[in-house]
Amino acid sequence: MDAAALLALDAAHVWHPYAPMPGRVPPLLVTGARGVRLELADGRELVDGMSSWWAAVHGYRHPVLDAALAEQSARMSHVMFGGLTHEPAITLATTLVDLTPDSLEHVFLCDSGSVSVEVAVKMCLQYQRSRGRGDKRRLLTWRGGYHGDTFTPMSVCDPEGGMHALWRGVLPEQVFVPAPPSGFGAPPDPSYVDTLAAAIARHADELAAVIVEPVVQGAGGMRFHHPEYLRVLRELTEEHDVLLVFDEIATGFGRTGRMFAAQHAGVTPDVLCVGKALTGGYLSMAATLCTAEIADGISMGELPVLAHGPTFMGNPLACAVANASLGLLADGGWEHDVKRIEAALRAGLAPAADLPAVRDVRVLGAIGVLQLDHPVDMAVATEVVTAHGAWLRPFRDLIYTMPPYVSTDADLAVVTSAMLAAAAAA
Ligand SMILES: *Cc1c(COP(=O)(O)O)cnc(C)c1O
C-alpha cells in the first residue's frame, strides 16, 4: 500500500495521542529508524531530538539491544509472572536494586509508567492501612507536575494542564502546593520552604504520601528546580509520618546528568518509579521500587498481598532489552555524553535569548528548552523543524529537546538550529 493510502486509513481509524479523531495535523509516516535518524516514507531523514518521548537513549537499532531482543525471542517472548519467574526479570530487579539507593530493595515490574505510579500509590495507601492509618489516603504534590494519564496519576498532574475542572467529582481531590520556584541553580527560597512545611503539617493526618518528579518537571512544563526542595520534602515527610514517592520515569537513567535525579539532592524516597528509558525505548516497561518497611507492612496487613498483576508483568523481551540497555549504561560513558550534550545545547540554544518571542532558555543535562511568550502553533513549528531536518514535538509554549545520548555534535547542531528556527518563526 502506498503512503497516501496508509495515511488515509490512519486518518479514518487510528487515534493518536492528545488528538481529536481525526487529528488536526496529519502525522508523518515513518518506515524505519537507525541511530538518531527517523526514516520517512517520502525519503526524508530527520534527526530525532525527542528520543521517542525521552526513551530511546541509545538511538534506534542499536546492535546490542537488537541482539538481546533476538536472543530472548528465540527462548521465550512471554510467560505469565504469577507462579513463574525467569532470569531476565530476576537480573533486571537485582540491577535496579543495585543502581538505586540502598534502602530501595523490592521491585514491582509494570507495563507502563502510568501503571507504575498507580502501583506506587496503591503501595502507599495499603501500607498506611496495614498499620492502622487508613485515614491517611490523600496525596500531596506541587503544581506543574505530570505523572501519567490513568486516573490516579491524573489526580496528581498539574490541575490546569491535567484539566481537573473537566474531571471534578471523578478524580480524587489531592492536596496541591504551588509549583517549586524555577531554576536548578537559583538559590532556594525560604518562603517556599515555609509553604511546603505548612501544607504538610496541616494535612499530615490525611496524607499517605507526597509524590513529585525530582529536579525536572517534564510533561507538566519542562521546569527545573533546586534539589534543596527535595531534601526539605524528605525531612518534612519523615517528621510528619508521610511517605515520599519520587517519579523518575522521565529523569531516570542519566537524563539530568546523574543516574537518578534524586542523587542531585542525596535523598532516598520510600518509593521510586522508573520507566521510559528503562528499555532503551524498545518496549513498554516500568518499575516501582520500595523499601523493606513498606513491603513488610503490606505483607503483614489485613490483605497481606499487593493486589496488582498486569497480564504482561515482567515480560521477558522487555526485561532482556532493559538488561542490555542498563548494560550499555554500566560503563559510565553516558555521563560523558550527557555532559557533552549539555554543553552543545547551551551553546546551540544561547542565541535564542535574543529572539523576541523567547521568554526563557534553559538547559540541564541532556534537556534543552525554549519557552515562548505564547503557545506554539504545532503545524507551523512541525513544518519549520522538519524543513531543518529535525524531529521535535513542541507543546504549549515549549520547544524542547531530549536527544538520544548517542547524538553527535553535528546531530545536536541540526536539532538546536531547528529549535532556533521554530522560535524565530513563532
Ligand atoms: C511519561 C511519564 C509518565 C507516564 O508514563 P507512561 O509510560 O506514558 O504511562 C509518568 N510520569 C512521568 C514523570 C513521565 O514523564
How many angstroms does the Cα of residue 172 sit away from the middle of ligand 1?
19
Report whether residue 148 contacts ligand 1, using a CB cutoff of 6 Å: yes
Reference 48, options 32, 35, 65, 64; nearest CA is 35
Annotated binding-site residues for substrate read: 53, 146, 276, 309, 393
Q: Of all atoms in ligand 1, which is nearest to the CA of residue 276?
A: 7
What pLDDT sits at residue 163?
A: 79
How many angstroms does the Cα of residue 112 sit away from the middle of ligand 1?
8
What pLDDT sits at residue 368?
A: 98
Neighbours of 378 (CB within 10 A): 13
Among 115, 141, 147, 215, which residue has the most ligand 1 atoms within 8 Å of its CB, making it the best to mutate? Answer: 147
Residue ID of nearest Cα to ligand 1 atom 3? 148
Catalytic residue check, 276: yes
Report whether residue 158 contacts ligand 1, using a CB cutoff of 6 Å: no
What pLDDT sits at residue 319?
A: 98
Report whether residue 250 contacts ligand 1, using a CB cutoff of 6 Å: yes
Residue ID of nearest Cα to ligand 1 atom 15? 250
Q: Given 276, 282, 397, 400, which residue is catalytic?
A: 276
What pLDDT sits at residue 419?
A: 98
Q: What is the pLDDT along the chain (426 residues), one digit of tens a residue?
A: 899 999 999 999 999 999 999 998 899 999 999 999 999 999 999 999 999 999 999 999 999 999 999 999 999 999 999 999 999 999 999 999 999 999 999 999 999 999 999 999 999 999 999 999 999 999 999 999 999 999 999 999 999 887 788 898 999 999 999 999 999 999 999 999 999 999 999 999 999 999 999 999 999 999 999 999 999 999 999 999 999 999 999 999 999 999 999 999 999 999 999 999 999 999 999 999 999 999 999 999 999 999 999 999 999 999 999 999 999 999 999 999 999 999 999 999 999 999 999 999 999 999 999 999 999 999 999 999 999 999 999 999 999 999 999 999 999 999 999 999 999 999
Catalytic residue check, 122: no
What pLDDT sits at residue 68?
A: 98
Among 53, 109, 114, 245, which residue has the most ligand 1 atoms within 8 Å of its CB, making it the best to mutate? Answer: 114
Question: Cell digits for 343?
Answer: 554543553
- Contact present, 105 and 97 (Cβ < 8 Å): yes
Q: Of all atoms in ligand 1, which is nearest to the CA of residue 251?
A: 13
Question: Cell digits for 33?
Answer: 529508524
The answer to whether the peptide bond before residue 153 is cis (omega within 30 degrees of 0) is no
What pLDDT sits at residue 25?
A: 87
